[in-house]
Every structure is written in C-alpha cells, then in structure tokens.
Amino acid sequence: MLITAGMLVVACGSGGGSTALGLADEGAPVVATSDAFEPIPQDPADVATNEATDEVDGADGVAASAAEAAQYPMIDNCRLRPKAECPDVNLSGARLVGLDLSGADLRQANLTRADLRYADLRGANLGDATTTDALLVGARTDESTECPGSEMGPCVGGPWVARTHVHTVGDCSAEQGADCARDYLYGANFGPVDFTDADLRRANLARSDLGGANLDGANLSSANLTAATLAGANLTGANLAGAGMPRADLRGANLRDANLNGVIATGALTSAATTCPDGTSGPCLTGVFAPAPARTVGNCRIERGAQCRGRNLRGADLRGADLRGANLEEADLRGAHLDGADLEGANLKDADLREAWLTYANLRGAKIQIYDDSDVQAAQAHGNLDEAQFTGADLAGANLNASRAPRANFANADLSHAVWSPGPSDYGYVSQASFTNVNLDNADLSGMRIASDCVFTGASLNGTIVTRAQIGKGVQDMDLSKAVGTDQMRWRLPGSTTDR
C-alpha cells in the first residue's frame, strides 16, 4: 500500500467490463447492442389510449390532458405548470429548464440541486424554499415573485447569478484543436469557448456549461454530455457518435451534419431555434430525439409511475422509456435494455439487474438497494448488479445500500450524494468494477467493501464519506485526499497480503 500526497495508489485489474452502444472503459472490449438508439415504434392502440386518457393530479385534483402531461412533469404528486398549487413539493435534483411555473405556489419547496434555468417564475411564491446548489440563472422573476428569502422580486444574488466562466479545467484548455480526450470535466463552466476541431472523445462533460461554445468539427464520440448546457452551441459537423446527451439543453444549437449514430438523447431540449442534423429547424422530434412511447411489455404498462412489482421484464427493450416514479420492486430485469431510460425516483428494491444495460439512464433518487435483511439465501438468489452497465448513468442521490456490484461498469457515472453502505445485510461491496471518471462527491460509502480489482482512475471523491470502509490494497488510483473519514478506514480485505 502506498499513500502519496493524500492519494491511495494501489494496483488493480481493469475489471471495467463492456458497455452498451459502443461505449467502453479504458482497455475494455467494445460490445455494441445496437447500431443506433432508435425509439420503438408506437402501437396504434397505444396512440389511441394516450390521446383519450386524461391524468388526474394529486395536489390540485385538476385533470391533465395527454398534451399537458407531456409538457408539464408530475413530480412528488404535483403537476408542475402555471399556477400549480405545490407547497412543500420535493424537487431536489429535478431538471426543469425553461418550465413555465408562473403564478405557482412553491412555498417551502425543496429545490436542492434543481435546475430551473430560464424558467418562468413571474408571480410564483418561493417563500422559504430551499435553494442549496440550485441553478436559477436566467429564470424570469418580477415584482410579483416572492423570492426564497420571502422578499418580493425580482430575485437577485445567490443561485440567480451566473458563475464565472473558466478557460482551463485540469489539463484541458479550451482552444482550437484542444486535446481533452478522456478528461474529467464534470460540471465545467466553459461557456462560449472555442473548441473547434477539439478532441473530446470519452470526456466526462456531464452537467457542464458549453452554452454558445464553438464545437465545429469537434470529436465528442462516446463523450458524456448528460444534462449539459449546449444552448446556442455550434456543433456543425461534430462527431457525437455513441455520445450520451440525455436531458442536454440544445435549444438554439446548430447540429447540421453532426454525426449522431448511436447517440442517446432522451429528454434533450430542442427548440424552434435549434438546427437539426438534416438542416431543418427544430424542435427536433425524430430519430434520437423521438420519445419512446408508452407500451405494454410482459404484462407491465411501460409509462411514468408504472406499477410493475415482480414482473418479468427479462431482456426487454426499454430504451428511452419514461419510468419516473415507477414501482419495479422485485422485477426481473436481467439483461434488460434501459439505455437512456428515465427512472428518476423509481423503486428498484430487490430487482434483479444482472447484466442489465443502464447506459446514460436517469436514476436520480432511485431506490436500487437489492437486499437489506438477514436472509442470506435470499441475498444469494438475487444477482444484484452483477455485470450491470451504468456507463454515464445519473445516480445522484440514489440509494444502493447493501447492493453488490461485481464486474459492474460505472465509468463516467454521477454517484454524487448517493448512499451505498452494507446496511443490515453486510452485503454492500464491489469487485472487478470500473469507476473511471465517476463523480462520487458527497456520496456515503461508510462501511462499503471495495475489492482490490477495482479502478477509480479520474474519479472525484470530494467530501465522500469512507468511514469504516474496507479498501483492498490493489485498488487503482483512488484519490482520498478530499474524502471524509479516512482515519477510520480499514484497508485490508480478504485476499490482501498487506495491511495499512
């Protein structure tokens, strides 16, 4: 074991496994599950059902048409639309860019890490709302808006102020022909920089700000652009093959002649000012931008809030599906394709996710713990996350307590604020897993067992809780200099030959 300048440097096998859609961790074989991300054709019966069905809201009891349901999301039992009555609503981590919430009652709402940039909040009541790490730059307020501090608007300061743009992050300097391949650029606030012909292959640019940037001819193949801001960016002729850009802001962006082969763009925002790859004006609604329709698979209606506990969805093609808030507890999802699926807040407790594909899926706040009691036989019956592919997935705030993840791939994923500890079962561990370029900031890994054959190259562990964690002596490139509880860690794991 060698600890240098706060970094735990220990040898490790690659163990990254392969990833979907041609994405792979460094040195791992590439296994393509499809040539391109294409939505599944909608069944005519589904179309008729969607057009005829109204949805009743929980908070205000007002029915929403299918069109309204598509335009205004339902979160925490409240339809987020103009004049919505949503006091105390939990919107933590929600992406609500540009949403019209004029006149809405959002008193005491939890807006922690919520993205409300350019939202219309004129006349809204945000009194006593929690706005920690919220993004409210460009949101429209006026004298009729009650700001979070209970003062009347327009709202200024704090989350309403744009951050200062940067030019260099780590070894990556924004310039023509820049070589930033595989760099960790999560959350970088570049803004309108010149990245013409830059090499950004496999870079982690999730939640970065590239608004107005010039990316003409840039190579962004297999890059992670999850929830990135690309509004007004020039992506003419850019190579985005295999990139993940779900929930990215592409309003006003120029995508003419861009290569989108294999791209996952579930929930990406486009507008009339967006130039689509074929040169037509947006919104872009076909190809990778087409939403997956609701449909029935394995006696389970695949839609937001689906009740599919214990259903057999083994090997199902659920790419791009909207399963926000769905109950998939104890469901059989072995080998299922959930690439780009929206599973925010979903219940996946005790679901079998062996060899499942969750590349660029949205799992923010999801309950993914597989096993949390003392029944060892039950724990062994569930394969947990064995060989699951979470490349680029958004797992911020997810609950993975007691989950086992041998040979899983979390490369470029967001695990910030996630909770992953053994729990009562003492089964929380990972082995032969890749955490390359992962965001583990403020995650709770207390008591977690991390075997020697795991890779943490380029991972960010700022504020990560590692109290009582067991780290194998061969873990590669795990920088714990900014982690919490390192003085209470246990380095040695079974199979190790050297203690701390």
DSSP 252-287: T-B-TT-B-TT-B-TT-B--TT-B-TTS-BS---SG
At 358 the pLDDT is 94
In sequence order, which residues have a C-beta less than 8 Å from that of residue 375 and are 6 or more positions away? none
Mean pLDDT of 347-362: 92
Q: Which residues is 402 bridged to in the sheet?
A: none
Is the pLDDT confidence value at 375 over 60? no
> Where exactly does CATH 2.160.20.80 map onto the chain?
74-162, 163-291
Measure the CA–CA gap between 290 and 268, rounded to whole angstroms: 10
Q: Which fold has domain 1-33+320-500?
A: Pectate Lyase C-like (2.160.20)
Instruction: Read off the pTM.
Output: 0.70
Which run of H or of E encompasses 9? strand 7-9
Measure the CA–CA gap between 465 and 468, rounded to whole angstroms: 9
Place of tokens 């969607």: 50
Mean pLDDT of 107-132: 90
Is the pLDDT confidence value at 418 over 50? yes
At 272 the pLDDT is 85
At 20 the pLDDT is 30
Of 287, 291, 289, nearest to 322 (Cα)?
A: 291
Describe the chain by its helix, strand, coil percentages, rounded to 5.
Answer: 5, 20, 75
Measure the CA–CA gap between 229 and 245, rounded to whole angstroms: 10
Is the pLDDT confidence value at 63 over 80? no
Are residues 296 and 303 in contact, defined by beta-carbon separation less than 8 angstroms? Answer: no
Residue 500 vs residue 348, higher pLDDT = 348
| DSSP state letters, 428-459 | -EEES-B-TT-B-TT-B-TT-EE-TT-B-TT-
Instruction: Using pLDDT thresholds of 50, 70 and 90, give the confidence band for residue 240.
Output: very high
Measure the CA–CA gap between 145 and 216, rounded to whole angstroms: 40
Over pLDDT 70: what percentage of the chain? 80
Are residues 125 and 106 in contact, defined by beta-carbon separation less than 8 angstroms? Answer: yes
pLDDT averaged over the chain? 80
At 161 the pLDDT is 81
Measure the CA–CA gap between 73 and 38, rounded to whole angstroms: 23
Q: Which fold has domain 74-162?
A: Pectate Lyase C-like (2.160.20)
Measure the CA–CA gap between 468 and 460, rounded to whole angstroms: 19
Name the CATH architecture for the domain at 163-291: 3 Solenoid (2.160)
Place of tokens 């007004």: 232
Residue 370 vs residue 93, higher pLDDT = 93
